[in-house]
Amino acid sequence: MRAAWSFLRRLLSSPIAAFGAIVLVGFVVMALFAPQLAPFEPGAPNLRARLSPPAWAFGPEQYFLGTDHLGRDILSRLIYGSRIALLVGVAGVTLQALLGITLGTLAGYFGGRLDIAISRLIDTLISIPNTILYLTVLGVFGPSLVGLVLVIGFIGWTTFARVVRAETLSVRNREFVEAARALGQRTPMVLLRHVLPAIMAPIIVVATLNVATVIILEAALSFLGFGVQPPTVTWGRMLADGRNYVATAWWLATFPGLTITLLCLSLIFLGDRLRDVLDPRLRGR
Amino acid sequence: MTAYILRRLLQMIPVVIGITLIVFVLVRISGDPVVLMLPEDAEQWQVEALREALGLDRPIPTQYVMYLRDLLRGDFGTSLRYTNQAALPIVLERLPATLQLTLAALVVAVVISFPLGIIAAVYRNRWPDVFSTSFAVLGQAMPNFWLGIMLILVFAVFLGWLPVSGRAGVASYVLPAITLGTALAALLTRLMRSSLLEVLNQDYVRTATAKGLQRRSVLLKHAVRNALLAYVTVLGLQVATLMAGAVVTEQVFAWPGIGLLAIQAINSRDMPIIQGVVVVAALIVMTANLAVDVLYALIDPRISYT
């Protein structure tokens, strides 16, 4: 417990990381309490207030960030949109991590043909520009929340696998792993008890940074019409609407993009700091 | 060197097979092509006949081999949307627009990141470093398509300097190239900074300075040249990311490349076009990666590939 506290204190001793943590907590609170926080129903149209500018830019005072082409409150939609972004980000990265860590440790620990097979699979997946692959698969199976998470997990695990494979390679012949083997521990135990804890630091860093990547990816897929479908609010879909009204209503596209950027910034700040604290070798990279 | 290139080419074979397998499976899952090709009131015997003619009555592995044979001949099937046109020429016709956009983005990325990364490392922890590091982080956190929309807003809508969309003339390249290139510029700035910082601490750089060489000459001839290795590697590995980003960028700017074509094809379930785009894009990425490996060997005499 004390170790956890001291770790957290070291992590947040950097003002930038502390800022990131506060923003991230803010977004989580926003997602959890969206119904209490949002001033309006996110899907409720108000046709008399279509495309109203933000309140502080001479718009109607009840709409702080203005309304969209159907008169829906942008602030409320942003608040609700955080739910899908965080859900897909966390669930997608969790699945990526499960697959990537499993395949990466297997490839790194056993080497040989298994390693070659897994490495070629990674080569294959990273050779196809990812959006094209994601869109094709989503196009075939039809877009849905579960489908989106599965696709992100099953295609995007390669970063985890590559990092984990390299780290496993570097620890598999270290004394503590050999000692465990010599003591007669079975391979799954050696992997779970000894190898995995030793390579946890880079995994945590990759996970944090990947959440940002996946959030941007989710927004891009929604922007292209292949994300979670309406009436569920997604930031990417809001941006697609904003693109259509860019010449007449600047606020439609501006705020969802700023929101995504802010959330991803907070994750990158935290990820970079985690790297500094957990893995001093990589400091400054 | 030749042996090395040959070995790399051999390594590409399983990857190409993997890609075709993925595409084959997706095409098969997406629906029965016979149903799509025949009118709804087709008789059962007509369905059977077409199935036999297309080889769809054979075992799946046989079908895959037949499919590979067709791909090798450049036969990706005929587009469903562009009636009776072969899919591959349609894809290849759109390819130059995407390649030009990608290349322009690459230029943007290098032109920004190269000096910015060097300045950041040389003025470490002073304001030029703070500026370029902020740019690097922001460039990573921003969705590129949002940047594109914002650029349209400022430079096309408010200022009216550049076209909103489309591909006509040099001016139309500016915004899409910046949109696509910024994230890479951010990544490369970070990379240039960190690898240069590492190199600047090395003995040979100190020796060069001690010899009395000018600072500029030490920096450019000794330090930057060695920092280039990591830079070029990442540049090559990012070609896939750039092409992936091009899909979204093309949508923002109505840019008539293979990304826009892919989205239209996916929306209309035009599988021959989709597989054409996937295979062509993957081949480009693999070629770029191979080119980088070769370039790597040329830049770094320490690496021998025998």
* Per-residue pLDDT tens listing for chain A (285 residues): 788 888 888 888 889 999 999 999 999 999 999 999 999 999 888 888 888 889 888 888 888 999 998 989 999 999 999 999 999 999 999 999 999 999 999 999 999 999 999 999 999 999 999 899 999 999 888 889 999 999 999 999 999 999 999 999 989 888 999 899 899 899 899 999 999 988 998 899 899 999 999 999 999 999 999 999 988 999 999 999 999 999 889 999 999 999 999 999 999 999 989 988 886 555 444
Using a CB-CB cut-off of 8 Å, the residues of chain A touching B150 are 253-254, 257
Q: ipTM value of the model?
A: 0.89
**Tokens of residue B101, six digits:** 């956009």
Listed in order, strand segments (DSSP E) in B139-240 are none
Q: What is the pLDDT of residue A173?
A: 86
Nearest residue of A to residue B138, measured between CA atoms: A265
pLDDT in tens, A64-111: 999 998 989 999 999 999 999 999 999 999 999 999 999 999 999 999
- Closest Cα to residue A83, out of A185, A202, A184, A227? A227
B248, B274, B277 member nearest A224 (Cβ): B248
How distant is the Cα of B275 from the closest Cα of chain A, in angstroms? 9
Nearest residue of A to residue B135, measured between CA atoms: A265
Instruction: Please name the residue that has the structure tokens 């830019």.
Output: A57
Longest dimension (CA), chain B: 89
Cis amide prior to A53 (ω within 30 degrees): no
- Closest Cα to residue B51, out of B64, B32, B23? B32
**Tokens of residue B199, six digits:** 């190199």
Distance CA B50, CA B27 (A): 17
The secondary structure of residue A280, as a DSSP letter, is G
Element housing B108 (H / E): helix B87-122
SS3 B78: strand
B19, B149, B152 member nearest A127 (Cβ): B19
Q: What is the pLDDT of residue B272?
A: 86
Whether B157 has its CB under 8 Å from any CB of chain A: the answer is: yes
Decide if A100 contacts A160 (C-beta within 8 A): yes
Q: What is the pLDDT of residue B306?
A: 47
Nearest residue of A to residue B159, measured between CA atoms: A247
Q: What is the pLDDT of residue B302?
A: 67
Query: B85: buried, middle or exposed (CB in 10 Å: 19+, 13-18, 0-12)?
Result: middle
Percent of chain A with pLDDT over 70: 98
Decide if A152 contacts A216 (C-beta within 8 A): no
Each of the 306 residues of chain B gets a pLDDT tens digit; together they read 778 888 888 888 889 899 999 988 888 887 776 776 777 777 888 888 877 877 777 788 888 888 888 888 888 887 876 767 888 999 999 999 999 999 999 999 999 999 999 999 888 889 989 999 999 999 999 999 999 999 999 999 999 899 888 888 888 999 999 999 999 999 999 999 988 888 877 788 778 777 877 777 777 777 787 778 888 888 888 888 899 999 999 999 999 999 999 999 988 888 889 889 999 999 999 988 888 878 777 776 666 554
Instruction: Please name the residue that has the structure tokens 């398509």.
Output: B145
Q: What is the pLDDT of residue B27?
A: 82
Q: Is the dihedral of CA B35, B38, B42, B48 positive or negative?
A: negative
Q: Is the dihedral of CA B7, B10, B12, B15 positive or negative?
A: negative
Distance CA A97, CA A100 (A): 5
pLDDT in tens, A150-174: 999 999 999 999 999 999 998 988 8
Q: Is the dihedral of CA B138, B143, B144, B150 positive or negative?
A: negative
The secondary structure of residue A47, as a DSSP letter, is G
B78 forms beta bridges with: B86
Q: What is the pLDDT of residue B182?
A: 95
How distant is the Cα of B303 from the closest Cα of chain A, in angstroms? 20
Using left for φ > 0, alpha for ψ between -120 and 50, and beta otherwise, residue A207 falls in alpha
Element housing B15 (H / E): helix B2-29
